[in-house]
Chain A
């Protein structure tokens, strides 16, 4: 049986901020609920209040502006993201990542904001948001602020959110013109399972390539590897540069052994997937 709680359903952001200021230590926010309900069933979370954010119209908006980029409200589901043509075309890494998370029915409920707030090291969407340099819009009764996604993950299941704060939206700036992105997920099965390793990449190829790589399931948090850019500076064939990039990734990550596989396999597959995604995006022999 699930723990007992009171269910609250604010209609505005302001109402939510007030509720959260009052009950912050005893409340959990619910968007899709696909993580929360399981954690309450396992009695890992025992909130006195569950605050459902899905009735707040501002949080349900998915907007794209040519200049300002993408803005995804906290209650927007992954399937709404997958249905968006502009995300598919311009934010491909995020689009592909959303499509690998759990299964189609879970994605009808699960949200992007929920996925990052859960702050699992195995988050599928986080690496894509890291390479796309997203920003998290946060609000509380005290006011609003923006947290770069690169500073959002603080540890296993820990975020930079402070007491009383909630995520309003995730902002993703337009990638450089002509940039290509992708997300590769390696799992034990084709569907539903968490990643053994997940790799997102963004490659902008105007003159010399600007390359960005981030991974999931290989460190206490989803992790960006800025050192990959160094591999593409200087001389050498594309194949050699990709090898250097893979070595930089393997040198940076610190995976653990768990129920899915051992640490050595994760290290190996992180290298394999880095090579694979870069060959796909940079284009090599």
Chain B
């Protein structure tokens, strides 16, 4: 199997790593870079729990090979806000949009990207943006409410 030297930026920090061809971005983040905020569940593009931003675009990291992200920028939930929680994270707390919490990082990442691109989304647009992420506690109502509420606090 081929190995590849790649250089990528994760949450503002540069990493030079060697990856095997079959390693996914998800496995690189969790196993090699030890950033376990990005969750691993189905590993087949269905559940969306591994959502990260790839050059700012929400992406299922189990569906991307690590070798493909050479020279690119990745943002995980660890890097989604600064010292303080962002508006989406605060709204998730306020609306109790967390049950078991396993899907929460993915929703936070996708919603933060949505509000950056579209600060005042409609409910339909929120549903579209998070449509690829599954919450098996099925608490979608609170999640949608939290994202809409976060959009109100945005200027």
Question: What residues of chain A have their CB less than 8 Å away from a CB belonging to chain B?
Answer: 1-8, 32-34, 37-38, 40-42, 50, 52, 54, 102-106, 108-109, 190-192
Top 5 nearest A-B pairs by Cβ distance? A103-B132, A7-B21, A6-B2, A4-B1, A191-B131
Q: Are B64 and A33 in contact (CB under 8 A)?
A: yes
Q: Are B132 and A106 in contact (CB under 8 A)?
A: yes
User: How many Å lie between the Cα of A131 and that of B21 in the bound state?
Assistant: 39
Instruction: Identify A105's interface contact among B43, B44, B59, B65, CB under 8 A.
Output: B59
Stretch among B45-53, B84-92, B96-104, B143-151 lining the A interface: B45-53
Q: How far is the CB of A258 from chain B (nearest CB, A)?
A: 17
Instruction: Identify B63's interface contact among A50, A54, A106, CB under 8 A.
Output: A106
User: How many Å lie between the Cα of A8 and that of B129 in the bound state?
Assistant: 32
Q: Are B45 and A37 in contact (CB under 8 A)?
A: yes
Q: Are A109 and B132 in contact (CB under 8 A)?
A: no
| Size bin of chain B's contact surface | 20 to 34
- Binary flags per residue of B30-67, CB closer than 8 Å to A gives 1, else 0: 00000000000001111010010000011110111101
Q: Could you count the A-B residue pairs with CB atoms below 8 Å apart for me: how many are there?
A: 78
Q: Are A191 and B132 in contact (CB under 8 A)?
A: yes
11 contacts between A and B (CB under 8 A): A4-B20, A4-B22, A7-B67, A50-B65, A52-B65, A103-B132, A105-B110, A106-B60, A109-B59, A109-B60, A109-B63
B contact residues around A104 at 8 Å (CB): 58, 128-129, 131-132
- Interface: B94 (CB within 8 A): no
A contact residues around B44 at 8 Å (CB): 37-38, 41-42
Q: How far is the CB of A278 from chain B (nearest CB, A)?
A: 26
Given contacts A33-B63, A191-B131, contact A105 B48 (CB under 8 A): yes
Instruction: Identify A37's interface contact among B24, B58, B67, B129, CB under 8 A.
Output: B24
Given contacts A106-B60, A106-B63, contact A52 B68 (CB under 8 A): yes
Known: A42-B44, A105-B58. 19 other contacts (CB 8 A): A2-B22, A2-B24, A4-B20, A5-B22, A7-B67, A32-B63, A34-B63, A37-B62, A37-B65, A38-B45, A41-B44, A50-B21, A103-B132, A104-B129, A104-B132, A106-B60, A109-B63, A192-B46, A192-B132
User: How many Å lie between the Cα of A42 and that of B43 in the bound state?
Assistant: 11
- Interface: B116 (CB within 8 A): no
Q: Are A105 and B22 in contact (CB under 8 A)?
A: no
A contact residues around B43 at 8 Å (CB): 41
User: How many Å lie between the Cα of A32 and that of B45 in the bound state?
Assistant: 12
Name which residue of chain B comes closest to A54, CB basis.
B68
Q: How far is the CB of A262 from chain B (nearest CB, A)?
A: 23
User: How many Å lie between the Cα of A1 and that of B43 in the bound state?
Assistant: 10
- Interface: B152 (CB within 8 A): no
User: How many Å lie between the Cα of A3 and that of B23 in the bound state?
Assistant: 10
User: How many Å lie between the Cα of A57 and that of B59 in the bound state?
Assistant: 22
User: How many Å lie between the Cα of A37 and that of B44 in the bound state?
Assistant: 7
Name which residue of chain B comes closest to A35, CB basis.
B45
Given contacts A102-B132, A103-B131, A104-B129, contact A6 B1 (CB under 8 A): yes
Q: How far is the CB of B75 from chain A (nearest CB, A)?
A: 14
B contact residues around A190 at 8 Å (CB): 131
A contact residues around B131 at 8 Å (CB): 103-104, 190-192
- Interface: B136 (CB within 8 A): no
Instruction: Identify A5's interface contact among B1, B48, B51, CB under 8 A.
Output: B1
Q: Are B51 and A3 in contact (CB under 8 A)?
A: no
Q: How far is the CB of A26 from chain B (nearest CB, A)?
A: 13
Instruction: Identify B132's interface contact among A4, A7, A105, CB under 8 A.
Output: A105
User: How many Å lie between the Cα of A223 and that of B4 in the bound state?
Assistant: 43
Q: How far is the CB of B131 from chain A (nearest CB, A)?
A: 4
User: How many Å lie between the Cα of A81 and that of B64 in the bound state?
Assistant: 20
Looking at B46, B59, B65, the one whose CB has the most chain A CB atoms below 10 A away is B65
Name which residue of chain A comes closest to B51, CB basis.
A105
Q: How far is the CB of B40 from chain A (nearest CB, A)?
A: 12
Name which residue of chain A comes closest to B57, CB basis.
A108
